[in-house]
Amino acid sequence: MDNPFASAPGSYSQLGLAVSVNSNDFAKLVFGSVGQDIEFSSRDNNAETKLGADFPDGYGFGDFAKAKLVLDVSVNNVGNTMATATVTLLDASGEPLPGNASVTISGLELTGALKEAILDPAASVGVGITHTHGAAEAFTAAYDYFEVSAKEDTSTPLPVPATEIEEIFAGANLELSDSYDQGDVGSALVTVTPGGNDVQSSNYGSNSFQVQNTGDKKIAAVFFDVTTALYGDSVFDPDGKGGDATAKEWAINSAGNTGAIQPVGSSGYEHYFLPGIDPEPENSDNNGGYRGALVKFSATANGGFTNGETVGFSGDMDPNSIAGFTKSSVDTGSIPFWDVGGISGAELIGSNVYIKFTDGSTASGQLMSDGSQAGAQVLVSETPPNLVAELSVNGLSAGSQGTYGGEVPSVIVSGPAGEWVRVVMTKGHQPVTNNQDGIADTVNARLADKNFPANNAAEFQFVDVQLGASGTADVSQEFTYGDFLNDTSSFDGDDTLPLGFVASVIDNPNTSDGLGLGPVSQPIYLISNGTPVVDGDTTIPSEGYYLMEDSRLKVQFEDINGPGGVNPPGKWQFFDEADENGNQANFQGVGYYLWGDEDSEALNGPQAELTYTFVIPESAAGEFTLRVRGHGIQVGPAMPRMMSG
Read off the pLDDT of each residue in 126-139 and give the average, rounded to a whole number.
Answer: 87
∠ Cα 633 638 644 (to 5°):
45
Lowest mean pLDDT, pick from 3-12, 322-331, 586-595: 586-595
**Cα gap 576→593, rounded to integer Å:** 9
Furthest-apart CA atoms within the chain: distance in Å: 89
**Residue 386: what residue type?**
N
Residue 136 reports pLDDT greater than 90: no
Whole-model pTM? 0.65
Burial 412-429 (b: 16+ CB within 10 A, else e): bbbbbbebbbbbbbbbbb
Residue 544 has pLDDT above 90, yes or no: no
- 185-241 pLDDT, tens digit per residue, is 999 999 999 999 999 999 999 999 999 999 999 999 999 999 999 999 999 999 999
Q: What pLDDT does 2 receive? A: 94
Separation of alpha carbons 58 and 99, rounded Å: 10
Please give the DSSP secondary-structure letter assigned to residue 61: G
Residue 516: DSSP 8-state: B
Amino acid at 457: A
**How confident is the model over 124-130, as a mean pLDDT?**
91
Percent of the chain surpassing pLDDT 70: 81
Once rounded to an integer, what is the mean pLDDT over residues 610-635? 54
| Residue 575: Cβ-neighbour burial (10 angstroms; 0-12, 13-18, 19+) | middle
Provide the pLDDT confidence category of residue 559 given band limits of 50, 70 and 90: very low
Q: What is the mean pLDDT of the chain?
A: 86
- Tens of pLDDT, residue by residue over 281-290, are 889 999 999 9
Least-confidence region, from 73-77, 125-129, 143-147, 410-414: 73-77
Helices (H), 85-227: 112-119, 162-170
Picking from 408, 422, 285, 403, the residue whose alpha carbon sits closest to that of residue 350 is 422
How far is 636 from 638, CA to CA, in rounded Å? 6
pLDDT band with cut points at 50, 70 and 90 for residue 619: low
- C-alpha angle 314-317-321 in degrees, rounded to nearest 5: 180
Convert the pLDDT of each residue in 53-104 to its tens digit: 889 888 999 999 999 999 988 775 445 677 888 899 999 999 989 877 888 7
Q: Residue 193: which residues within 8 A CB-CB, separation 6 or more?
A: 201, 202, 203, 205, 208, 344, 345, 346, 374, 375, 376
Q: How many C-beta neighbours within 10 Å does residue 433 have?
A: 15
Question: Measuring CA to CA, which residue among 321, 265, 266, 268 is closest to residue 294?
Answer: 268
**Confidence class for position 147, pLDDT limits 50, 70, 90:** confident
Measured distance CA(191)–CA(375) in Å, rounded: 7
Region class of 122: left (phi > 0), else alpha (psi between -120 and 50), else beta:
alpha
The CA dihedral of 176, 177, 179, 183, to the nearest 10 degrees, is 10
354, 361 Cβ separation under 8 angstroms: no
Query: How deeply is 386 buried, as exposed, middle or buried, from its count of CB atoms within 10 A (0-12, 13-18, 19+)?
Result: exposed
Q: Is the peptide bond before 431 cis (omega within 30 degrees of 0)?
A: no
The answer, yes or no, to whether residue 605 has pLDDT greater than 70, is no
pLDDT at residue 572, rounded to an integer: 62
pLDDT higher than 50, residue 558: no
DSSP secondary structure string for all residues of 346-366:
GGGTT-EEEEEETTS-EEEEE
Query: What is the C-alpha to C-alpha distance for residues 467 and 517, in angstroms, rounded to an integer?
Result: 14
Give the model's pLDDT for residue 602.
46
More confident residue, 604 or 147: 147
> Which residue type sits at 312?
G
Contacts of 477 by beta carbon, 8 Å cutoff, 6+ apart:
408, 536, 627
Q: Is the pLDDT of residue 552 over 60?
A: no
- Work out the average pLDDT over 106-110: 76
The predicted-structure confidence for 246-278, as pLDDT tens digits, reads as follows 999 999 999 999 999 999 988 899 999 999 999
The separation between the first and the last C-alpha atoms of the chain, rounded to the nearest angstrom, is 42
Cβ–Cβ < 8 Å for 65, 109: no
Burial class, 397, CB count within 10 angstroms (exposed 0-12 / middle 13-18 / buried 19+)? middle
- Listed by start position, the domains of the chain span 14-132, 162-528, 536-645
Percent of the chain at pLDDT > 90 equals 63
Contacts of 78 (CB under 8 A, 6+ apart): none
DSSP-derived 3-state class of residue 627: coil
